[in-house]
Structure 1
Amino acid sequence: MKGIILAGGSGTRLYPLTLVTSKPLPTWPDAVHRYLEALKADGFFD
């Protein structure tokens, strides 16, 4: 089964942090890793 991590949007709820930097997930340490591990635990492999 395939999984998708949605990471779009302008980041308005993160204002004023988004004035200086963009809002990609890798901004937070291990954020993507946690999502991938959760998907893997639920049977997603790709």
Structure 2
Amino acid sequence: MEAAALDEAGGGVRGGGTTNAGRDGIAIVSIARLILSGAVMLALHVFGV
């Protein structure tokens, strides 16, 4: 039961993201990756690497 709750909180990977909690977790991860990649690209541009 606890493992299932943790899995849901982690993006519902085992459940295939079929629940709202799973979809929200995946969306948060996607947005975080987008922001992170944008920050990396901006840093590379600013520092002229």
TM-score normalised per structure 1: 0.38
Q: Which has the larger radius of gyration?
A: 2
TM-score normalised per structure 2: 0.36
